[in-house]
Chains A and B, each alone.
Chain A
Amino acid sequence: MSLVTPVHVLNVAQTVGAPVHGRAGEYIGRLHDVVARVLEAGDELFPPLTGLVIRMGGLRTHSVFVPWMSVREFGPTGVTLASSRLDLRPFTRRDGELLVGGDVLDKQVVDVDGRRVVRVNDVQLAPDPRVPGGWRVAAADISVGSFLARVVPRWMVPSVRNRFPANVVISWDQVEFFASDVPGVKLRVDHTNLARMHPADLAELIAELGYRQTQEVLAALDDERAADVVEWLPSEVQAAVLTSLDDEKAGDILDEMEKDVAADILADLPREEARDLLDAMEPDEAADLSRLLAHAPNTAGGLMSTEYLSVGSTLTVAETIKRLREADWLPDEMPYLYVLESEPDGRLVGTVTLRDLVLAEPDTRLDSLMVREVITLTVDMSADDVADEFTHYDLVAMPVVDDDGRLLGIVTVDDAIDVLLPNEWRPRIPRIFH
């Protein structure tokens, strides 16, 4: 939490409601809100104030906009305008404008540095060092004192401030607010800060957000990143998050997810919803997934993933490595290469570890390098038995084969371990393969 303490700062919540006077000192109205321009990415991290919204009139109030160049003095006790002439057209919002009081105050924002969702109790404004007389949004104030100061009557504010100083503020460059909280206008919020966070941290944040903000966050990430985040979500939340997205985005994310995790999520959904999501996926990814879905969830077939690499037994080490280099897709982790009697779908005859592959002479054929004694699983083996096999042989992945010995998929140890653990432990166990 980097602390911003400029020479003097203004709190939006304490300033809103202050009287606004004209040049001659005549009363005009009260400050209703502060408008800031949300800039394009890469420009300024602290949005400059572009003007004030002033509420005028007695019974039939209306709000007008005063551009910053017409503001002479801006302070905690009030606002003085540089001219007494006002544009009396009612205030309407424009794209790219942030109403600091209305859009940020009391809302939940992400504290990027602290990796948590916080509620904004006040917003600090500070003079803009680059523009004489200009002000900008400096920090979000989340301290308890700032909350209390807004609850108690005005005369008690100083004593509350004394006892509870505004001691927790988040520099605005570490704040990510949500455009979905701002009704009616378009705001370009690209969430570059969020995109840089670790998917595990993002998943924890998302667990605290509503679906609109979740949609916003996932939309700001590329599909692969979004898929990582969804994989990190607790399993009971994954399905809810995916169904709340539009089918197209959900399909794109499912395309990028580990197939076994994706299959688990779809298996948890009502049949119709699962079919809609499958339809939204790339046809070949969807076909892979449908094959996995055909297996009961508590069998080896239900646990297995189709993300593995298989090669023909007649290839040499050099040919194999060349193929790995040129492949347009590889699994994230590949403890073993699976060696088939013949490509593309011959019997599984052995495995080769990457270690052996790297150390062997380039012209060695795989069938002389591979380990022939492969311990395999069958599709309909129960999940408990699968877990037993893993603990017995202490392996990181095991192949699943059909009756003829043809390779169907692999089960990785993290998926097998899930079976052994009570539900609540799972999120705390780091995924070994992701």
Chain B
Amino acid sequence: MWARLARLGQGARGRSRSWRLYLTALGPGLIAATAGNDVGGIATYASVGARYGYDLIWMMVVTAFALVAVQEQCARLGAVTGKGLSDLIREQFGPRWSVVAMTGFLIANGGVTVTEFVGIAAAADLFGVPRFLAVPAMAALVWWLIVYGDYRRVERLFLAFALVSLAYPISAVLGNPDWGEVLQHAVVPTVRMDAGYILLFVATVGTTISPYMQMYQQDAVVEKGVTAEDLRYARADVLAGCVFSILVAICIIVATAATIFASSPGGMGVEIATAEDAARALAPIAGPYASYLFGVGIFGASMLAAGVLPLATAASVCEAFGFERGVELTFSEAPIFYGLLTVLIAAGAMIALVPGIPVIRLLIVVQAVNGIILPVLLVFITRMAGNRQLMGRHANGAVHGALAWVVTVVIGSLAILMLVTSLFGPWLGIG
């Protein structure tokens, strides 16, 4: 476990002391939460802003509380038990339930992996590179880097690219939105009962609190040797990460609302369909170069996650089921690990290349699927975090436990509501 994430290439530790100090105090939580703002996140938030303007901002505020509640539980589970999430689910719930949980992780993370390659395809389009060349080449590169190369090093490069998402707050300010209105929508809920609204709602929750963030959060806490005594630092880290991630998400919504929604015919909002559309939200900061800036950002974020996600997922599944795992082993020593890794990357790349696939729609549907799987995993997490035998005095108290269950039940109900409205919406007259 100690070496797991280091081996996975996520334990990026620099040489200078201050950087390391920062990573000890502010680390896994910040990275986990920021990972929510990947290409699927950007597409979802941009769609929310373009379609409904500021209407859904209140939801981000509510989601922030849920995000903190969920991530804190994972950090606590990791710090108290010293075990990763898939490890702990197997030990606490046995083989059958761990198959359920791991299937959930596989579907959710597999779906997100597809979106990362969709992101690479979109970036290729923006730069005028044929996607049928770019996507297979990048998939092969990612695979090669993981298996033979040094992913940890290039990872930092991609991470730097991905920092482009910081352009959104600037763009949001330059877009000159009505901040009073933004604030009003942040505290006063606007609720609509149409299938599109509910789909976006669930997708937003699914991308902001995506299952792989819980896996990452807990594993990273474990790998850094955070113990129950250090819990308050881990909590501060989770809080900082969540607040930062939600602020960036809100800025993406505000930036798209101030540009795309505001200029939509009659102020009715528009569906965005392509990356080119979504890139327009960066126009206030980058002008005519907005699509290039956007392209660089999603390329970096996608390349980063396209490697880390399949790797972490394959390792996690193998850990739960007791298969040999790790890139230092040979193919014949760890066939299932390498098989999973390869299938995840290859399938992700191939699905992303299906001709005529509605890009933004696909991204949002994947986030919505995450939103459906999330409550299932939350049941595992919340039960473990409340288990006094496992957690001792660090188990959920009455208030914390109740809050965690409320979050689980609300997200679960939303997911069911979404399934009902998207499948039977037309008959119920709310399509």
Q: Name A residues whose Cβ lies closer than 8 Å to a Cβ of B.
A: 105-108, 118-121, 142, 144, 147, 150-151, 181, 183-184, 206-214, 233-234, 236-237, 239-241, 243-244, 267-270, 297, 422, 424
Contact = CB atoms under 8 A, between A and B. Distances in A.
Q: Which of B17, B389, B390 has the most CB of A within 10 A?
A: B17
Determine which residue in B6, B82, B319, B322 has the highest number of CB atoms from chain A within 10 A of its CB, and name it: B322
Contact of A183 (B13, B25, B222, B390): B390
Contact of A211 (B25, B227, B322): B227
B365 interface: no
B11 A236 contact: yes
Contacts of A151: 95-96, 99
Interface in B89-122: 90-91, 94-96, 99
Contacts of B322: 118-121, 142, 147
A189 B420 CA distance: 54
Given A236-B6, A244-B227, A212 B1 contact: no
B6 A241 contact: no
A236 B13 contact: yes
Contacts of A213: 82
Contacts of A106: 90-91, 94-95
Interface string B1-34: 1111010000101010100110011000000000
Contact of B2 (A208, A270, A422): A208
A243 B225 contact: yes
A144 B223 CA distance: 27
> How big is chain B's contact interface, by range?
35 or more
A108 B94 contact: no
Contacts of A208: 1-4
B321 interface: yes
A270 B389 contact: no
A253 B428 CA distance: 69
Nearest to A272: B21
Contacts of A183: 389-390
Contacts of B3: 207-208, 234, 236-237
A208 B309 CA distance: 20
11 contacts: A106-B94, A147-B322, A207-B1, A207-B2, A211-B225, A212-B82, A236-B11, A240-B224, A268-B20, A269-B20, A270-B25
Contacts of B390: 183
Q: Which of A107, A206, A240, A422 has the most CB of B within 10 A?
A: A240
Contacts of B20: 268-270
Nearest to A149: B95
Contacts of A237: 2-3, 6
Contacts of B152: 424
B82 A210 contact: yes
Given A183-B389, A269-B20, 13 more contacts: A106-B95, A119-B319, A151-B96, A208-B2, A210-B222, A211-B222, A214-B82, A239-B225, A241-B2, A244-B82, A270-B17, A297-B15, A422-B150
